[in-house]
Amino acid sequence: MYWMPYTGNRLMKDNPRMIVGADGCYYLSADGRRIFDSLSGLWCCSMGHNRREIAISVTSQIATLDYSPAFQFGHPQAFQLANRIKEMAPADLDYVFFSNSGSEAVETALKMARAYWHLKGEPERTKFIGRGKGYHGVNFGGTSVGGIPSNRALYGELVDTVHLPHTLLRDNAFSRGLPDKGVELAEDLEVLVEEHGAKNIAAVIVEPLSGSAGVILPPVGYLERLREICTEHGILLIFDEVITGFGRTGRNFAADTFGVVPDILCLAKALTNGCAPMGATVARSEIYETFMVNGGPGYATEFPHGYTCSGHPIACAAALAALDILEEEKLAQRCAELAPYFEDAIHGLKGLPYILDIRNFALTGAIQLETYPDEPARRPAEVAQDCWEKGLYVRYAGDCLAVAPPFIVEKEDIDFTFNVLNDVIGTLP
Ligand code: PXG
Ligand code: PLP
């Protein structure tokens, strides 16, 4: 029997919502209805569903080379894809380590950071700094640096981490795009560094724009300030761009959009347009060189880390085709061009009952709802269920609904999304 991930298994099994097909921006439900996909799957199918070019690339790859050992042997597509990502990524983010999920991309980044300091002769730099409401996947490292309490509560002792405060301020409610207030929250990093000692801190990890906790945006100037403080104290800055990577903020990476370059970048999801599991951790050249210089004889492993399916040929084939589509169809640009229309549409819900906040950036937005007493997740779940019945898949998590449609979306689909939400929220009891 199937034990479903991050799902209310009991309710779902009593009242299953089953998806059996997809095309473009729409799903086909088991009861034969077209359902608009307002979250690009789970933030991953940014180029729309069932792209023929990806199907052809994957089919051809599986018939040519289905698997090759990830350790001690290579295959051409992994090298090609790494070069492709290097070309897209900012500055000297040049070396790409493959894994199979965002969680593994994060785990790889955290281990890479600790090992880097060990090799640099500062082995006491082991502590991580995460941020409240952050989501970095579900492995032990990612769970530790994550800042959503319910994701941590059941698991006992975690990896040594302290957290910055999140940047969700009441004063910024209903901001359009980046909020004005809150740059000073970055100064809390100075406080943590003072308290714990720069010499004990390996890295700071943040999502430049948090997706999971309900599209929490960086206040104007905030990321720049985190960068400055990290640089000043020699602390590595990791951007977890598992959601924001590959166009979601209107440029290839949020690092480009916000003009702040991290030392390590975590990627997944839209890398393959969701067509195959794949994560990637991209490091600055100096980090890679540190491993090489300290690696001993040429046959020795410099970084004792990797997954059986790191750089899997099928995932590489999917990613190479997906990145072709992103580039050829100029989809990051399309995402930026549709942003003002999307912004007006989502903010059009303002004034409906129970709406506490609406947040947006590029083709991403969240609607925060007033909760039932002691039941933060209930009202969004009820809204989402009603939307599903009206032909709209919308994501609910915590006290928020999140919307992040594929970049190939049409304006009529955006209208449909917010008309349904308007009807459903407008008639809540
Ligand atoms: N980092 C970030 C920033 C993420 O958003 C992960 C790591 C983990 O990736 P994997 O591939 O291991 O799940 C994520 C994943 C949602 C939602 O609705 C978000 C994610 C996954 C599923 C749902 O907000 N983010
Ligand atoms: N557990 C066992 C017993 C293994 O042999 C391996 C890999 O060889 C793993 C876990 C890790 O699996 P993966 O490399 O797919 O993450």
Shortest-distance ligand to the CA of residue 312 = 2
Residue nearest to atom 8 of ligand 2 (CA): 308
Strands 26-29 and 127-131: unpaired
Pair (242, 373) in one structural domain: no
Whether residue 13 sits in one domain with residue 135: no
Ligand nearest to the Cα of 148, by number: 1
Is residue 265 located within the same domain as residue 122? yes
Question: Same structural domain for residues 18 and 144?
Answer: no
Shared domain for 154 and 246, answered yes or no, is yes
Cβ(211) to ligand 1 under 6 A? yes
Ligand closest to 38 (CA) is 1
For residue 376, what pLDDT band results from cuts at 50, 70 and 90? confident
Is the whole model's pTM more than 0.85, yes or no?
yes
Ligand 2 neighbours (beta carbon < 6 A) = 307-309
Q: Is residue 145 predicted with pLDDT exceeding 90?
A: yes
On average, the pLDDT of the chain sits at 97
CA atoms within 13 A on the CB side of 184: 2
Kindly give the distance from the C-alpha atom of residue 308 to the centroid of ligand 2, in angstroms, as a whole number.
7
Count structural domains, the chain. 2
Helices and strands (H, E) in the chain, number of each type: 15, 15
Please work out whether the CB of residue 254 comes within 6 Å of at least one atom of ligand 1: no
Of the pLDDT bands very low, low, confident and very high (cuts 50, 70, 90), residue 142 is very high
Cα(204)–Cα(264) distance, rounded to whole angstroms?
Answer: 10
Tell me, in angstroms, the distance from the centre of ligand 2 to residue 309's CA: 10
For residues 394 and 413, membership in a common domain is answered with yes
Q: How much is the pLDDT for 377?
A: 85
Instruction: For residue 397, name the pLDDT band (cuts at 50, 70, 90).
Output: confident
Establish whether residue 210 lines the binding site of ligand 1, counting it when its CB lies within 6 angstroms of any ligand atom.
Answer: no
Chain centroid to CA 205: how far?
Answer: 13
Strands (DSSP E) along 58-197, which ranges? 93-99, 127-131, 161-164
- Residue-wise DSSP of 179-248: -SS-GGGGHHHHHHHHHH-GGGEEEEEE-SSB-TTT-BPPPTTHHHHHHHHHHHHT-EEEEE-TTTTTTT
Calculate the CA dihedral of residues 179, 185, 187, 189 and round it to 10 degrees. -120
Q: Which of 234, 219, 38, 206 is nearest to 131 (CA)?
A: 206
pLDDT at 63: 98
Query: In this structure, what DSSP letter does residue 38 have?
Result: T
Residue 280 shares a structural domain with residue 238: yes
**Domain boundary pick from 328, 358, 379:** 328
> What is d(CA 275, CA 286) in angstroms, rounded to the nearest whole number?
32
The answer to whether the CB of 366 is under 6 A from ligand 1 is no
Nearest atom in ligand 1 to the alpha carbon of residue 39 is 18
Asked if the structure places residue 218 within a domain, the reply is yes
From the list 222, 286, 284, 228, the residue with the least C-alpha distance to 254 is 222
Ligand 1 atom nearest residue 211's Cα:
24
Q: Which helix (H) or strand (E) holds 283?
A: strand 279-284
Q: Is the CB of 139 under 6 A from ligand 1?
A: no
Same structural domain, 257 and 349: no
Q: Which atom of ligand 2 is nearest to the CA of 104?
A: 16
Is any ligand 1 atom within 6 A of the Cβ of residue 270? no
- Report whether residue 101 contacts ligand 1, using a CB cutoff of 6 Å: yes
CB atoms within 10 A of CB 54: 24
| Strand order across the 355-361 sheet | 355-361, 364-369, 400-403, 395-397
Q: What is the mean pLDDT of residues 310-316?
A: 98
Residues 263 and 381 grouped into a single domain = no
Coil vs helix vs strand at 3: coil
Same-domain status, 317 and 336: no
Per residue in 86-99, pLDDT tens? Answer: 999 999 999 999 99
Q: How confident is the model at residue 72 (pLDDT cuts 50, 70, 90)?
A: very high
Domain that holds residue 282: 55-328
Residue 129 sits in the same domain as residue 259: yes
For residue 394, being part of any structural domain is answered with yes
Rounded mean pLDDT, 167-176:
98
CATH number at residue 337: 3.90.1150.10
**Dihedrals phi, psi of 94, to nearest 5 degrees:** -115, -20
Q: What is the pLDDT of residue 15?
A: 87
pLDDT in tens, 318-339: 999 999 999 999 999 999 999 9
Tell how far the Cα of 122 is from the centroid of ligand 1, in angstroms.
Answer: 31
